């Protein structure tokens, strides 16, 4: 077997994360889009100079509560809110990637017809949202999973909608698990080992009566789960904080969540991470971003710009994770030449997924410095870049990771 190995992260990053934000309590459509411009563009915005990060947001189609919320339709009707033209652009560019359930039904009232109308709207727009995240309290019965008030995937329930969601094509599901470990699928260093064992102990003591564990006991970013209707899905967990206990995750909390010492711990742990927040909750456009939040976000932006910590959207991070950890490949060598053939079919879920060249962005192999490597997906040759690592000890062959263009 030639000395060629798959690298964990896109070259040259040492860890990877996404900011996954629930849109609860976003003050207005303007708050929503201003925050997106601040996070993703590099221009001056009303709340500060853009950070040039790559982050996406979540969306609701309905608001059936008495609180003001950002949603696609006005209330539970079929009339679009005035700010949706900009949201279409953000959906189409990949900067809205998460359906935070079909809407805010924290005061009850969800019906399967709501799912039908929302998915019909998405089909009309030609937009695919790859990620689902559960929302709200026990009255929001459309949620998916095994908690007693979650009926979204229970075929006998009137709220059942999962067959529609599956047909539409949502692939990654956050069903409520949150972890305190700084990096999932992390290197097994003492800090990670200790925290993981602590979480396991809590599952069998403090959390022993819960219907399921509040975190993944194996500290994985994502795993395959079977729902009540027999559907197989990818379930992922989000990271809440490193200090334990549930707390709020709104804009002011980001200062502490993204403290540089935690970011460096994530990098040292070589982990993946989906950060749980409500990034517009607490935003006031007049007073702007709290100074300590701004400092943390600017530090994160610098780590991303320096290609140490990859920051991307939840959908892209999970796709990279899914593909890079599950592709099958064979290597044929001839002297210094090596051809790597990746099988197009991915052996996950129902085995029907065909990897596209675009899905391979970031996939990186390491080999001896003298090797000449060619990469194929099936029979198609894939454009790669080769680099010698510092000290010329290794060569890396990488499918370039291309930033999502942000529509300004
Ligand atoms: Zn929510």
Each of the 408 residues of the chain gets a pLDDT tens digit; together they read 568 999 999 999 999 999 999 999 999 999 999 999 999 999 999 999 999 999 999 999 999 999 999 999 999 999 999 999 999 999 999 999 999 999 999 999 999 999 999 999 999 999 999 999 999 999 999 999 999 999 999 999 999 999 999 999 999 999 999 999 999 999 989 999 999 999 999 999 999 999 999 999 999 999 999 999 999 999 999 999 999 877 779 999 999 999 999 999 999 999 999 999 999 999 999 999 999 999 999 999 999 999 999 999 999 999 999 999 999 999 999 999 999 999 999 999 988 899 999 999 999 999 998 899 999 999 999 999 999 887 778 899 999 999 999 998
Rounded distance from Cα 278 to ligand 1 centre (Å):
8
Rounded distance from Cα 282 to ligand 1 centre (Å):
14
Q: Give the start-to-end residue ranges of the domains of the chain.
A: 16-312, 327-398
Rounded distance from Cα 292 to ligand 1 centre (Å):
24
Rounded distance from Cα 182 to ligand 1 centre (Å):
23
Rounded distance from Cα 104 to ligand 1 centre (Å):
8
Rounded distance from Cα 135 to ligand 1 centre (Å):
4
Rounded distance from Cα 271 to ligand 1 centre (Å):
25
pLDDT for the residue 391: 77
CATH class of 16-312: alpha beta
Rounded distance from Cα 374 to ligand 1 centre (Å):
45
3-state secondary structure the chain: CCCCEECCCCCCCCEEEEEEECCCCCCCHHHHHHHHHHHHCCCEECCEECCCCCCCEEECCEECCCCCCCCCECCCCCCECCCHHHHHHHHHHCCEEEECCCEECCCCCCCHHHHHHHHHHHHHHCCCCCEEECCCCCCCCCCCCCCCCCCCCCCCCCCCCHHHHHHHCCCEEEEEEEECCCCECCCCCHHHHHHHHHHHHHHCCCCCCCCCCCCCCCCCCEEEEECCCCCEEEEEEEECCCCCCCCCCEHHHHHHHCCHHHHHHHHHCCCEEEEEEECCCCCECCCECCHHHHHHHHHHHHHHHCCCEEEECHHHHHHHHHHHHHCCEEEEEECCEEEEEECCECCCCCCCCECCHHHHCCCEEEECCCCEEEEEECCEECCCEEEECHHHCCEEEECCCCCCCCCC
The packing angle between helices 84-93 and 29-40, to 10°, is 30
pLDDT for the residue 394: 87
Rounded distance from Cα 136 to ligand 1 centre (Å):
5
Rounded distance from Cα 399 to ligand 1 centre (Å):
36
pLDDT for the residue 2: 67
Rounded distance from Cα 259 to ligand 1 centre (Å):
24
Rounded distance from Cα 298 to ligand 1 centre (Å):
26
């Amino acid at each position: 077997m030639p000395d060629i190995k798959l690298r964990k992260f896109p070259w040259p990053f040492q860890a990877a994360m996404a900011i996954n934000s629930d849109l609860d309590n976003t003050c207005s459509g303007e708050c929503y889009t201003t925050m997106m411009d601040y996070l993703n563009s590099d221009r001056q915005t009303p709340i500060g100079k853009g950070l040039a990060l790559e982050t996406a947001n979540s969306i609701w189609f309905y608001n059936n509560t008495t609180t003001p919320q950002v949603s696609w339709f006005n209330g539970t009707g079929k009339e679009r809110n005035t700010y949706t033209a900009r949201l279409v652009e953000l959906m189409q560019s990949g900067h809205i990637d998460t359906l935070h359930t079909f809407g805010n039904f924290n005061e009850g009232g969800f019906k399967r017809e709501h799912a039908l109308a929302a998915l019909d709207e998405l089909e009309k727009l030609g937009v695919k949202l790859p990620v689902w995240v559960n929302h709200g309290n026990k009255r929001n019965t459309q949620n998916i999973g095994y908690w007693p008030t979650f009926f979204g995937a229970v075929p006998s329930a009137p709220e059942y909608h999962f067959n529609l969601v599956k047909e539409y094509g949502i692939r990654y599901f956050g069903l409520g698990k949150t972890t305190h470990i700084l990096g999932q699928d992390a290197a097994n260093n003492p800090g990670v080992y200790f925290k993981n064992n602590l979480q396991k102990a809590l599952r069998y003591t403090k959390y022993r009566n819960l219907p399921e564990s509040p975190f993944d006991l194996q500290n994985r970013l994502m795993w395959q789960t079977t729902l009540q209707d027999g559907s197989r899905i990818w379930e992922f967990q989000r990271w809440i904080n490193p200090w334990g206990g549930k707390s709020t995750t709104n804009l002011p909390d980001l200062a502490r969540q993204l403290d540089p010492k935690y970011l460096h711990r994530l990098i040292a742990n070589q982990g993946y991470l989906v950060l749980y927040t409500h990034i517009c909750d607490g935003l006031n456009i007049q007073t702007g971003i709290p100074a300590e939040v701004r400092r943390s976000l600017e530090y994160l932006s610098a780590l991303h710009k320096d290609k140490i910590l990859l920051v991307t959207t939840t959908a892209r991070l999970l796709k990279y994770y899914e593909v890079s950890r599950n592709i099958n490949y064979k290597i044929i060598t001839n002297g210094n030449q090596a051809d790597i053939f990746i099988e197009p079919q991915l052996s996950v879920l129902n085995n029907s997924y065909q990897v596209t060249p675009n899905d391979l962005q970031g996939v990186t192999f390491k080999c001896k410095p003298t090797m000449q490597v060619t990469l194929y997906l099936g029979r198609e040759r894939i454009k790669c870049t080769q680099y010698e690592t510092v000290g010329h000890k290794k060569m890396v062959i990488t499918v370039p990771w291309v930033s999502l263009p942000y529509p300004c």
